Structure 1
Amino acid sequence: MINQFRNLNPVNLILLVVIAFVLRIGVLLQLPDHLDFSLFEPYAGILIQLPEDLFSPFSNIFYSTVIILLQAMVLNRIVNSYNLLGKPSFLPALMYVTVSAMLEPFVVLNPVLIANFLILWMIEKFFSIYRRESVLPVLFDLGMITALGTLIYFPFIGMMPLLWVSLVIFRPFNWREWVAGLVGFIAVVFFLCTIYYLTDSLGGFVNILPRVTRFRTGFHVNLYDYIVLIPVAVILILSVFTLQQKFYRSNVHVRKSYFILIFLVLFTIVSFNITREYNIHHFLLAMPPLAILMAHFFTSSTKRWFYESLYLILAAFIIYFQFV
């Protein structure tokens, strides 16, 4: 399977669709009676409102899978365009489709899944910073993208410091570039406040804003539900080792790009503490960088029996724990 996706073969598109639905077979065969879906945070509901029962449980899973496949193809194009793996392949798409099926909250429509389109957009813009003479428009766009993501899912605001981290990694200091992202963010917030003002709802806007919580110190979770993460953890550890071995042999842009991906994962973990609610689907924000890191291992690994077996174990864990 992995060997097939190491090549940029159009047939892999069909295989990717089949794998995406196979990895969700347990959820599809045990559909709940009802699944809620909301596109925007309550404070952004003035822009558009969708009924919570808009989709049936089956259509909810189906459209979620279609979105995952679209995002996988976008991620694959970005990785191949910037040559992060050394050669073009379909492995980033395969890894994204796989890790997005790890847990049941990942496979249903949720705001984080929609916000991942913006994460992919941000990743591509981050990678493009290194090759540009002027990045003011890029930083302004990134600020607006972050604000749009915050309208969909409030903890997305935790991506804002990533704009400045990218400047530290890719650019010499220029205060205008540091301000540009903030201006872009404020522009979207100002637009939203203007709509509330014109509809005489500005007072209500303040009341429905989410409240930031203290850093969580403990969770009440059933660890049995997360055994499926063990193969993923093994692959990521192996990926770190392979990345370290080739790190200084890669060009400067590739090395800095991987730093951005690592910081994206870190900021996803930190932003989990922004809201009071415990939503495991929050970690879908980390799926694009994790998929790239996993793809790096499967690209670099030379023992076919090992990497093929490791992927089959991961797929088996995902399907098994959907049934139990």
Structure 2
Amino acid sequence: MTSPKLYQALDRFTAKKIGVVGDLIWDHYITGEVERISPEAPVPVVMNHREFGVPGGAGNVAANIQALGGEAWVVGVVGKDISGETLLVEFATRGIHSDGVVRLGHRPTTQKTRVLVRGQQVLRVDRETAQDIDADARKALVRFIRAHLPGWDAVAISDYAKGMFGTGLMRDVIRLARRHRKPVVGDIKPAHRTEAKGMTLLAPNAFEAAGITGLRDVQLAGKAIQRRLHCDVVITQGNRGMTLFIGKRVEHFPTQAREVFDVTGAGDTVVAALVLSLAAKLSMRDAVRAGNCAAGIVVGKHGTATVSLTELKQELRKQGSVAA
């Protein structure tokens, strides 16, 4: 595709149906000011000025898909608790389909609480269990995916090692997607590297790529992942941009210079842009251009955030990007 310009091609993101399978997280924020040191221990006392929460993990991938004009169907587990209920309400508010979410009474919803003072994170408290989901939950998830995947345009896999993918579920998702010729884009943890074989595009960061392969060199790691997992690879490298490995070609995409406020969830935004691009039949190079641009926007925001289709198009127009 040489024309129209890439930002015009992004209009094809609209209403693309994307299944998002992965670990659901409730990102909880407390913002305040430090006014004194506690008399009980040498620690600061944070005066709580505001609390809020947003979807994290696979939920953030889904939120970014929705913000970019797509239609997200989230598949995962939450607990029968306040955080799980709040997360489901937030999905409904954002128009994200959550019929594929299984509520479990024996495990908590994964929650990350970040305490921020003047925009700086001073503490994080995690509540989670990383134990694998049980057989009944796995069966319910597979049943939902099998029923709905034919109607999806693509699948995103979001692995935060919180229990979703230690049971072979990732293999099942990839197998079903390949059967229906749907592209699969994922970001996985090294512990599940053998599960990702046959994915369309794997999008680890440099640290994850090293963990998957045992190789610190990005070029060597990317080629090793290609060989071992039989998929195309894009390795994200923060302010150094992204490197795409497709067939025998290797191409680097430098990031656009900008001030970085927060990298929380940037990988989720990249996966969302990549999977929508492939669902919209953009080339792999254009998908990476879109993902790279989206990442550059989201790191300029505080906390777990999303990028809108309007923001992405404006930035690409500013850069003068043309589809390959």
Q: Which has the higher contact order (CA 8 A, sep 6+)?
A: 1
TM-score, with structure 2 as normaliser: 0.29
TM-score, with structure 1 as normaliser: 0.29
Higher strand share: 2
Higher helix share: 1
